[in-house]
Amino acid sequence: MKLFDEIPAERPATPLLDTLDTPAALRAMSTAQLAQVADELRAYLLYSVGVSGGHFGAGLGVVELTVALHQALETPHDRLVWDVGHQAYPHKILTGRREAMLNIRHHGGLAAFPRRAESEYDTFGVGHSSTSISAALGMALAARTRGEQRRVCAVIGDGALTAGMAFEALAHAGHVDANLLVVLNDNEMSISENVGGMASYLARILTSKPYTTMRESGKKVLSHLPGALELARRTEEHMKGMVSPATLFEEMGFNYIGPIDGHDLPLLVQTLRNMRDLEGPQFLHVKTCKGKGFLPAEADPIGYHAITKLEKNGAPPPLKPATPAPAKKKYCNVFGDWLCDMAAADERLIGITPAMREGSDLVRFSQQYPERYFDVAIAEQHAVTLAAGMACEAMKPVVAIYSTFLQRGYDQLIHDVAVQDLDVTFAIDRAGLVGEDGPTHHGSLDLSYLRCVPGMVVLAPADEAECRAMLSAAYHHPGPAAVRYPRGSGPGVEIPAHLEPAPIGRAQVRRESGAEAGRRVALLAFGSLNTPAAEVAERLDASHLNMRSVKPLDRDAVLAAAADHDLLVTLEENVVAGGAGSAVNELLATEGVRGTVLNLGLPDAFVEHGKPAELLAECGLDADGIEAAIRRRLAGGDGTAMTGEAR
């Protein structure tokens, strides 16, 4: 294996890789040629991510595994399902998208994750974790039903295997005896330690044709002898259990193989070829190193999980800024500081995260209050119900979770928290359009799915100071409450050191319109869209209300605005359907107020990937787009495709 200590600034020479438009050619290659392809693939991966930015370490860790999978399986006839998709860059390179990789995650370029519409080799669209085994099992059972001969393989990481959904799928696969291969890409040693040469030797033996023939023939012979077959099965099980963590997966109905070295390409190819032809559920445990082959990433797999594009001089971007951090704090940093400060003030506070410690800025809290910090792995449902249980015992749990990931814990939010009116605070990060990771990661639905839950308080800060104050307000509210805030930094408002809560259900008038009757416009802005709203209000001489609270709404402020203005414009970085604008419409209808409302928000479609500014402009939610939609409405037009109205 060729090792790298820097990211190539120029495109490396990849003569063998360049001949591969599809992975079919891999099946005719020698072991030496496959090794060369792997080296060239790793070099090109380093170069392309250096140009584009994006997910980094996971792909480097599965270079050999990806080559081996496409060599052993007849893709796309055989189905290959990747979990999450952080590790799918090598797969994309080998399946006809090599040159397009330079624009991955960019607006109009390749998606960050496998996507069915992009390639026939992308068998299942992903982005969230722990779906691969369920999807692959569905494909395997469909093939059985249709009488088709094809292999189906799911590749799942040790982190994704912590989710309950993965174990539900494993249990079902064993029950129906599906022809399914599950490859566990274990790069954190969370399942077991690698037992070295013995494990590799065992893997070769357990997948070899002589062994499998003997195993199946032995079953037939021993089946006629009372008790002998069960004795043989138990003997085999215990022999495996002495040298591998087979017991759990064997008990679920899988034939467990491994762990084996995920960077030993000949071993991977041999093992996968043998397992490909085995009947029933198969489980291959592969040990890999995240960032393998790039020495800085091997040393810091967390820091190199994803990178921005290279600087012009060819040097990789620093993981930490060389100069002091700018004055503008990210919203997640505001939350992280608030959590530590509130924990110091209230010993009942508990911090909970589903495997998002770094992303949610819980590092300092986990260090200062380790006994009050709980990372539940990728288990969003459990995170919410865990918080509910803590709240039942007079604790004050704070669940730090991304908007798109809270969708997974929605049933628990309703039945375990809201129905019981439990005191749980939800700090919802990544609300709105998050950018390059695309529709699976946009937090575009939370205002809609939270607002309909009885008893739920929903707050949306316009800036960093409001975020801190709203977190305190949600924390002190004696029931379920959520604060949703965007990815990245805010407008740069000074953040107070105190923990005074913001008022719940009270809007803030930021500007009064001086326009003449018939052209008086009021902008009712929620959360992040207060920034463009301020600019538009100046251009149109409109009133500007920072609504602050989505639920409960400031009834008096809305009715006053409706009485004094000719047009109300609601602004939210959320889908229009069921969102904050819908709440305004419902209030006016309930009160019998006849007025004109223009609802501006995200369209009734899944927004693609790109920089947030690009996407907001595309959705008509930048200052220019908002102004244009209002002018069309004032001129008698019908607004834009993503607008609605209530009269």
Q: Give, for 38, the enclosing helix (H) or strand (E).
A: helix 31-52
C-alpha to C-alpha distances, 515 to 84, 214, 512, 563, 593, nearest whole angstrom: 52, 89, 9, 15, 22
380 noted as active-site residue: yes
CA–CA dist 81, 94 (Å, integer) = 15
C-alpha to C-alpha distances, 6 to 14, 31, 103, 250, 316, nearest whole angstrom: 17, 27, 21, 42, 8
C-alpha to C-alpha distances, 222 to 230, 339, 360, 540, nearest whole angstrom: 9, 63, 56, 86
CA–CA dist 357, 92 (Å, integer) = 29
273 noted as active-site residue: no
Residue with tokens 């960019």: 106
Burial class (CB in 10 A: 0-12, 13-18, 19+), 65: buried
Measuring CA to CA, which residue among 433, 365, 374, 448 is closest to residue 615? 433
SS3 428: strand
The active-site residue, picked from 290, 372, 548, 633, is 290
209 noted as active-site residue: no
Residue 563, Ramachandran bin (φ over 0: left; ψ between -120 and 50: alpha; else beta): alpha
CB neighbours of 624 closer than 8 A, spacing ≥ 6? Answer: 617
Taken in order 41, 42, 43, 49, the sign of the CA dihedral is: positive
Q: How many residues does the chain have?
A: 647
Residue 12, Ramachandran bin (φ over 0: left; ψ between -120 and 50: alpha; else beta): beta
The active-site residue, picked from 380, 436, 466, 572, is 380
The active-site residue, picked from 42, 79, 151, 408, is 408
Phi, psi of 421 (to 5 degrees): 50, 50
- Catalytic center residues: 290, 380, 408
